[in-house]
Each structure stands twice: as structure tokens, then as C-alpha cells.
């Protein structure tokens, strides 16, 4: 059988196996995304069909953990989409300044670049000391890297440009220390970040927050699952709280569209109605 012939019921059965054995629930992720990842992993592992893959998942935990990494796409950047961060500075920071203390949730934070970008902006705006940032992901490997705050030196050129385009006025190299081929983010950027394992599909509300960033995560979810996660965000936000989504994500086709006003339509920034 050619890999492109993988049938939908085979994918469902495979995802059911992953769920039953490892309690990771990908059953309502977009089929195109899952299919692509499964095909890649099959090709790389020399597997001939989905049933071979199923038995490997059941019997080989290392293989299963590799597949889980495949299914959780961790691509990220500091100041990813600089226009978004420019808008955050202009439209969101002034709202945050009105609160005596601030709680921010980065849902699907991957290896932490997004949370470090937020720390930098909050420091520059004099808000960091009254903020707690919850940065969560269901991928423990990504979270461990995030906690370390060690990134490749090679990335810094691109991140510096992103930072400048996002309205950053300081010297970006002041936010890290170089160490051979890597950089280590300043301890002062980490001190108010709480890194935690949280699964958007299976875990619930854990705090009431003023701002949620969930960028480039929901794009992989089917409509019903997006609605479920949007309900989680709605219940986690204070009235007047702000929700930021990725550039290809939105609220228009979700059940909660009417419950928000758009603060910046292009940059997908929404404010929960009072
Ligand atoms: C493409 S990255 C986005 C990272 C960052 N938000 C950004 O925009 O650069 C998607 C992240 O979502 C996480 N993710 C996917 N499904 C998740 C779930 N059910 N619960 C928590 N995190 C999830 C993945 O592990 C991955 O780290």
C-alpha cells in the first residue's frame, strides 16, 4: 500500500490507540496535519502501513514519544510576527497598565520564545514586577528547553530584527549572555514565569488571567475542538480580558464570537466584553 492511501478510519484507530495507551488526545486535530505527520514518520521509520505503526506505538515507548513530538509542532520565534508585538505594545499594554497586578497565560508556549518576548516588553514598560506569566504546553521536552532559556546564537540575528521591527528600542543583545554557540536569556526575564505542563484538550481552567496568548496552536484543531478550547479561554479571562490568536486564526466561526470585541482585527487581538 502506498502511504498516500492511508484511510481516515486507520488514522482514527491509530489516534485512539495513542489516546488509550498514552492519554494524549489528538482525535480532534485537523486530519490534514495528522496525516502529513504520520506519513513522514512512517517513511522515516521504514514502516509499511498504519497497522505496523500501531503495533510499534503499543510496544515501543521511544517510538511513541517520537511520534508525539512529531504531532506537536514546536516551530516558534522571538517576536514572531513583529506587527503583532507592535500592536501589543500600542493596544494591550495600556490596558494592562490599569491593573495593580497582572496575570498572563501563554497557552502552547513551545520552547519559550514567546514568553521571553513578553518578559522583555513588560520590563521595558515597567510592568514586569507586578506580573505573573503562566507559560504552558503539553510537550514536556519543549517546556524543559523553555525553562533553560538557552537558544542557538545563530537565531539571534533574526530575533534582533524581529525585536526592532516590533518597536523595541533597546539593544537586544542586552537581554542575553553569549556562551560559545548559544545564548542564555537573562535570569531577570525568567523570574516571574511559571512553566507548567497543561493540555488544552484534557485539562481545565487553572487561573483567572488578564491576557491570554494562544498563537499558532488552534490552527491544528478541528472546529469543535477550537470551540471547546475557546470556552476554556473565555472562562479563564476576567471581564475585559484580552485574547491574542495567531495570524491565521480567528473567532469568527466559533460559538463565542459575539462575546468579544476586536481590538486589532488584522493582528487577531480580541477583548472579552464586560
Ligand atoms: C507552532 S507552536 C506555537 C508556539 C508559539 N505559541 C508561537 O506562536 O510561536 C504550537 C505549540 O502548541 C503546543 N500544543 C499543541 N497541542 C496542544 C495541546 N493540546 N495542549 C497544549 N499545547 C499544545 C505544541 O506542543 C507546540 O509547542
Per-residue pLDDT of the chain (274 residues; tens, 9 = 90+): 445 578 999 999 999 999 999 999 999 999 999 999 999 999 999 999 999 999 999 999 999 999 999 999 999 999 999 999 999 999 999 999 999 999 999 999 999 999 999 999 999 999 999 999 999 999 999 999 999 999 999 999 999 999 999 999 999 999 999 999 999 999 999 999 999 999 999 999 999 999 999 999 999 999 999 999 999 999 999 999 999 999 999 999 899 999 999 999 999 999 999 8
Q: Which residues lie across from 209 on neighbouring strands? A: 237
In-domain check, residue 77? no
Cα 144 to middle of ligand 1, angstroms: 14
Q: State the sign of the Cα–Cα–Cα–Cα dihedral 177, 179, 182, 187.
A: negative
What CA–CA distance (Å, rounded) separates 174 from 211?
Answer: 26
Residue identified by cell 522515516 is 44
Cα 2 to middle of ligand 1, angstroms: 30
In-domain check, residue 198? yes
30 and 109 part of one domain? no
Question: To test the ligand 1 pocket, which listed residue (110, 142, 196, 199) has its Cβ within 8 A of the most ligand atoms?
Answer: 110
Residue located nearest, by CA, to atom 7 of ligand 1: 76
144 and 31 part of one domain? no
Residue located nearest, by CA, to atom 9 of ligand 1: 76
36 and 111 part of one domain? no
Cα 165 to middle of ligand 1, angstroms: 24
In-domain check, residue 196? yes
**Domain span holding position 114:** 82-272
Q: Residue 266 class from Cβ within 10 Å (0-12 exposed, 13-18 middle, 19+ buried)?
A: exposed
54 and 111 part of one domain? no
Question: To test the ligand 1 pocket, which listed residue (138, 195, 217) has its Cβ within 8 A of the most ligand atoms?
Answer: 217
pLDDT of residue 4: 57
182 and 267 part of one domain? yes
Residues with CB under 6 A from ligand 1: 72-76, 80, 108-110, 114, 137-139, 142, 199-201, 215-217, 246
Cα 217 to middle of ligand 1, angstroms: 5
Cα 149 to middle of ligand 1, angstroms: 17
116 and 221 part of one domain? yes
Question: To test the ligand 1 pocket, which listed residue (25, 29, 72) has its Cβ within 8 A of the most ligand atoms?
Answer: 72
What CA–CA distance (Å, rounded) separates 142 from 145?
Answer: 5
What CA–CA distance (Å, rounded) separates 205 from 117?
Answer: 24
Amino acid at each position: 500500500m502506498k502511504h498516500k492511501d492511508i484511510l481516515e478510519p486507520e488514522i482514527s484507530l491509530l489516534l485512539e490507540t495513542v489516546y488509550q495507551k498514552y492519554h494524549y488526545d489528538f482525535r480532534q486535530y485537523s486530519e490534514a496535519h495528522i496525516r502529513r505527520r504520520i506519513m513522514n514518520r512512517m517513511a522515516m521509520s521504514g514502516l509499511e502501513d498504519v497497522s505496523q505503526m500501531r503495533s510499534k506505538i503499543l510496544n515501543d515507548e521511544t517510538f511513541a514519544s517520537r511520534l508525539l513530538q512529531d504531532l506537536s509542532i514546536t516551530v516558534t520565534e522571538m517576536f514572531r510576527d513583529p506587527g503583532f508585538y507592535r500592536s501589543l505594545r500600542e493596544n494591550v499594554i495600556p490596558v494592562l497598565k490599569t491593573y495593580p497586578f497582572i496575570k498572563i497565560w501563554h497557552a502552547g508556549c513551545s520552547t519559550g520564545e514567546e514568553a521571553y518576548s513578553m518578559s522583555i516588553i513588560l520590563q521595558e514598560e515597567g510592568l514586569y514586577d507586578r506580573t505573573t506569566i503562566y507559560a504552558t504546553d503539553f510537550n514536556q521536552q519543549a517546556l524543559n528547553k523553555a525553562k533553560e532559556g538557552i537558544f542557538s546564537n545563530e537565531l539571534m540575528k533574526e530575533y534582533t530584527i524581529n525585536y526592532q521591527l516590533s518597536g523595541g528600542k533597546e539593544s537586544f543583545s542586552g537581554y542575553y549572555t553569549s556562551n560559545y554557540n548559544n545564548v542564555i536569556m537573562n535570569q531577570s526575564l525568567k523570574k516571574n514565569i511559571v512553566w507548567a505542563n497543561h493540555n488544552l484538550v484534557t485539562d481545565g481552567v487553572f487561573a483567572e488571567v488578564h491576557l491570554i496568548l494562544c498563537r499558532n496552536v488552534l490552527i491544528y484543531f478541528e472546529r469543535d475542538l477550537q470551540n471547546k478550547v475557546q470556552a476554556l479561554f473565555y472562562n479563564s479571562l476576567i471581564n475585559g480580558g484580552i485574547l491574542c490568536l495567531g495570524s491565521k486564526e480567528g473567532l469568527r466561526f466559533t460559538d463565542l464570537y459575539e462575546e468579544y470585541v476586536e481590538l486589532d482585527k488584522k493582528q487577531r487581538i480580541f477583548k472579552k466584553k464586560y
